[in-house]
Chain A
Amino acid sequence: MIDYTFQWRVVWRVWPELAKGAVVTLEITVLSMLIGLAFALVFAVVRRSRIPVLSQFVHGWVELARNTPALLQIYMAYFGLGAFGIHIGAYTAVLGAIAFNNAGYLTEILRGGLESISRQQRMAALSLGMNRFQAYRYIIFPQVMRIVFLPVMNQTIWAMLGTSLGMIIGLQELTGATAFQQSLTFRPFEFYFVAAVAYYVIAKTIILASRLAAARLFRG
């Protein structure tokens, strides 16, 4: 019925290239999440503080990040910034765009987490003599962490899958490396199938690791 000979050996032969791509994928995932989280932590607090200009800036950022395709954001970084004389490589463009996107989504996740903590908690902390920073650091954030942990992990998976867009602007992450290798052999199915399995394994590993971490961090 199927008139097609599967050839897996051509994929096996270049596995180090694919592994290199996977490393780039993981790198961008971790970095973009760290950068995104750093921005989002500040943004979420700013959004709640309702400081006039800053708060609107954050609001605009969140809306832009959430309402335009990630691919458009990558194009913007890679092609669009050229208009301002900023020329960045594919790696930086993908990292920047995914981090921008992450910051937008994570701000909303963290804001939701902050809102779920009742105001009395903060008042109690302040009345115990803590300053505002201490109240956030020791009372509010530990509770928020517990609430936002799973959504943040979902965002990590999303960021990991999102790095595959790098392939479109020629970045050699896992998908890009796959695309390049298959273009040498014209075996798209075999190559992309292996890449799909690799992504699946990475995603499952992240989920498993986060479950273990959650069980340890938030027990009792």
Chain B
Amino acid sequence: MGSTAVPLYSSGFSWGDFELMLQGAGITLVLTLLSGAAGTALGIVVGWARTLDRWYITYPLVGYIDVIRSVPLIIQFILFNSVFAILGFRISPFWSGMFTLSLYIGGYVAEVVKAGIDSVPRNTRRAARGLGMSYFQDLRYVTLPIGVKAVFPAWIGLMLGLMKDTSLIAVLGATPPELLRASQIIINRIQEPLLILLGAGVFYFVMCAVISRFGGRVEARWAIERGVLR
């Protein structure tokens, strides 16, 4: 890829390159946060709807989750991008990528949410209803706190995966470039793949570590709360 370039200009690693990579890391974070938030919201609704046990709701949703999980993300990016084009929406690759990422992670979050709701014992929920709580009060004050704690680690895992998957948005040529695409651009110019890729790897590693650490903190706090309550 572009290894035939003739050095016409300065080809060392410059401050501007570092800025481009920093910006790329920022874009990666923005993509992760926005599509993570949208996908989680979608996943909560879908996961909850699946627990209603109505076949006309369950079948389409299972279909959605199934397809999302069985087709490579790259193909989803391109397909949704061309669907937008076919339907005549003028939408930038960046936002079409964001849409695809949200829909993608939403399918995974839905499974986790369903597992979380299912992890709450039936009798606990019956007890809540027996105390006179409405369906939604049970969901809000009993099922949610218990279920969230059960599946929180799985959700953190999904968000880590999402952050790594944002790198695939490169196939759409979305601008501004996220971290890996920015690295690729710099590599094309200075021809030092190992150095730049190691740098990008460190960025990803640190961002993953931060998310993991955050997850660990939250879990530790819950553990303490539980201890105090006992």
Contact = CB atoms under 8 A, between A and B. Distances in A.
B193 interface: yes
Given A165-B168, A188-B78, A72 B200 contact: yes
Interface of B is mostly: helix
Contacts of B204: 67-69, 72
Contact of A71 (B66, B78, B86, B180): B180
Interface stretch (A14-22, A43-51, A142-150, A195-203): A195-203
Contacts of A91: none
A2 interface: yes
B75 interface: yes
Given A80-B193, A188-B82, A161 B71 contact: yes
Contacts of A141: none
A196 B70 CA distance: 8
Interface stretch (A31-39, A110-118, A129-137, A167-175): A167-175
Contact of A83 (B160, B180, B194, B201): B194
Nearest to A169: B1
Contacts of B195: 83
A193 interface: yes
Q: Which bucket holds chain A's interface residue count?
A: 35 or more
Nearest to A75: B197
Nearest to A70: B164
B185 interface: no
Given A80-B194, A83-B194, A192-B82, A157 B167 contact: no
Contacts of B164: 68-70
Interface in A63-83: 63-64, 66-72, 75-76, 79-83
A168 B170 contact: yes
A150 to B, nearest CB: 14
A189 B165 contact: no
Contacts of B194: 76, 79-84
Interface string B199-211: 0110011001100
A71 B201 contact: no
A83 B192 CA distance: 8
A68 B74 contact: no
Give chain B's interface residue range (CB within 8 Å of chain A).
35 or more
Contacts of A157: 69-70
A3 B88 contact: yes
Interface of B: 1, 66-67, 69-76, 78-79, 82-83, 86-88, 160, 164-165, 167-168, 170-171, 180, 183-184, 187, 192-195, 197-198, 200-201, 204-205, 208-209
Interface in A91-139: none
B168 A71 contact: yes
B180 to A, nearest CB: 6
Interface of A: 2-4, 63-64, 66-72, 75-76, 79-84, 157, 161-162, 164-165, 167-170, 175, 178, 188-189, 192-193, 195-196, 199-200, 203-204
A193 B88 CA distance: 18
Given A2-B86, A72-B167, A200-B71, 5 more contacts: A3-B88, A70-B164, A72-B204, A164-B72, A168-B74
B160 A67 contact: yes
B201 A76 contact: yes
B12 to A, nearest CB: 16
Given A72-B200, A80-B194, A175 B180 contact: no
A2 B87 contact: yes
8 contacts: A2-B88, A68-B201, A68-B205, A69-B165, A69-B168, A72-B201, A75-B184, A200-B71
B59 to A, nearest CB: 16
Which 8 pairs across A and B sit closest by C-beta, in order of nearness? A79-B193, A164-B72, A203-B70, A83-B194, A69-B164, A67-B208, A189-B82, A69-B167
Contacts of A195: 75
Contacts of A69: 164-165, 167-168, 180, 204
Given A67-B160, A192-B79, A4 B71 contact: no
A164 B193 contact: no
